[in-house]
Structure 1
Amino acid sequence: MITMDTVGLWAERLIVGNSRPWLCRRATGRTLEIAVGTGRNVSFYPPDVELMAIDVDPGMLDVTRRRAAAAGRRVALGQADAAALPYADESFDTVVCTLALCSVYDRAAVLAEMRRVLRPGGRLLLLDHREHRWRQAHPADLALRGGFVAEGRRRLWFGLIERLAARRP
């Protein structure tokens, strides 16, 4: 499987720039990272963030576990489907998802789950691809249609990558 880890750091820096630290440094309080993958974001979170992360792939969680240990970062990891999060309503201050919504079948359902687990006033932080195959909407557009309120939105790499910081009202 090709991941951003196999593409290489130089390519990621070129394509997404400083987006990982830009997003993760905005996380506060109890934070959930959706589809953590290989844990590329772990070292960018502020030290006072209580970090939890999920992924459907146990192999990815193993890589994240090793990466978090190497960074000296505590992360509560769990195997879960982003479309059916195993958390109570309004249980997180921040939800982060980077470069993963592009691989989800029902992006609207996943975004609805993100909204459900965020407390009112909580922050959604997204980084994802913009693809022409998404006739209904791109991830950031779906988030805004789903009731989130944009705080910051920026397109990168000729508009193919987009990052969004938004709040749940």
Structure 2
Amino acid sequence: MVFKFLKLDRLSKSTVRTVAIAFGISNGIVFCYTYKTLRDNRPKFVDKGRPPESHRMAIFNNMASTYDSLFDKPLEANKVNKAKRVILKSAKGHVLDVASGTLNNLPFYKNLESLTAIDKSPNMCYEMRKKIGMFAIVLGPREKPDFPVVVILGDVQRIPFRSSSFNTVVSTHTLCSVEDPEAMVSEIERVMKPSGKLLAVERGRIYYAPLRKLMQALKIYPNPGVPWKNGYYEDRDPMALIKTKLEVSKYGISGYGINYSVIARKVNREFTGLTEEPQILPEARVFYTYVPLRD
């Protein structure tokens, strides 16, 4: 029945055998590459439970000054930056970048009304301030942001803005690294305007079930030692987390099922303009403000 359904019964046995061999080889190559990628340069597979948030925050604070030099090349090689370039073209209006790290998304933003970046790590906020200053001074007038930027030292699980403040919310490698991802998604939904959208590039559990189960059986991925060493979790499902509060309109999977690109919107939505400014709450801790010079 399967051969008839796929119309393989019309092919010669040698052709079917060749196709089967090619299929097996290609899948073997995918498996070997994924296995090697996930095995190399990783901590031992030891389940010590989940680290306290203070431990993970210390990791992020300690790596802040070297984060870009450590991860820029891997993000480029693994085509994560390519995914960002594509999806962040859709960022419009007043944009909130959550758990921004060093704000390495900054080069991908164009023609915004404003950008607000929030992170819980003081050292990451300091790196953001340096980066915005470099774009404004070193790279020249054509490269500096032509929109205001505000850096907030704060928790994405309690975003210090009024509801319906932002046209676009951006989350890149965030769901894997916050303490309570469900609370973060709930806050994202709250601060999005009714016509707003979430643009996410996330890493998470392997999307393809057969490959995921095989890697689990081989004790390769997810590795419980990763959050202790690198601060993020590999076993979270970005799609399921986003769907708890938002409606996924588009998504793509890359990196052999590890990388997720997602566009999501509010379930109940209506059009709102791009110019109404975000309403910041009094308790917000503004770390840095950049205002572009107008000609």
TM exceeds 0.5? Answer: yes
Would you say the 8 A contact 1:126–1:140 is kept in 2? no
Q: How many equivalent residue pairs?
A: 168
Instruction: Assess, with a 3 A threshold, how the Cα gap between structure 1 residues 8 and 80 changes in structure 2: closer, same or farther.
Output: closer
Structure 2 residue aligned with 1:153? 251
Q: Please tell me whether Structure 1 or Structure 2 has the larger radius of gyration of its CA atoms.
A: 2
Moved more, 131-140 or 23-32: 131-140
State whether structure 2 residue 119 is matched by structure 1 residue 55: yes
State whether structure 2 residue 109 is matched by structure 1 residue 10: no
CA RMSD of aligned residues (A): 2.1
Which structure 1 residue ranges, 5 or more long, are not aligned? none
CA shift for structure 1 position 48: 2.8
- Name the amino acid aligned to 2:82: N
- Structure number with the higher helix fraction is 2
Q: Residues 4-83 of structure 1 correspond to what in structure 2 (within 5 A)?
A: 5-15=68-78, 16-71=80-135, 72-73=144-145, 74-83=148-157
CA shift for structure 1 position 17: 4.5
Q: TM-score, normalised by structure 1?
A: 0.89
Would you say the 8 A contact 2:247–2:265 is kept in 1? yes
Q: TM-score, normalised by structure 2?
A: 0.53
CA shift for structure 1 position 166: 1.1
Instruction: Assess, with a 3 A threshold, how the Cα gap between structure 1 residues 63 and 17 changes in structure 2: closer, same or farther.
Output: closer
Would you say the 8 A contact 1:140–1:163 is kept in 2? no
Query: For the residues of structure 1 that align with 2:187 and 2:71, how far apart are their CA atoms?
Result: 31
Runs of 4+ in 1 over 3 A off after TM superposition: 1-4, 132-137
Query: For the residues of structure 2 that align with 1:150 and 1:101, how far apart are their CA atoms?
Result: 15
Query: For the residues of structure 2 that align with 1:62 and 1:115, how far apart are their CA atoms?
Result: 27
- Name the amino acid aligned to 1:150: V
Pairing partner for 2:193 from 119, 127, 134: 119
Q: Percent identity?
A: 27
Which structure 2 residue ranges, 5 or more long, are not aligned? 1-58, 136-143, 206-221, 225-232, 268-295
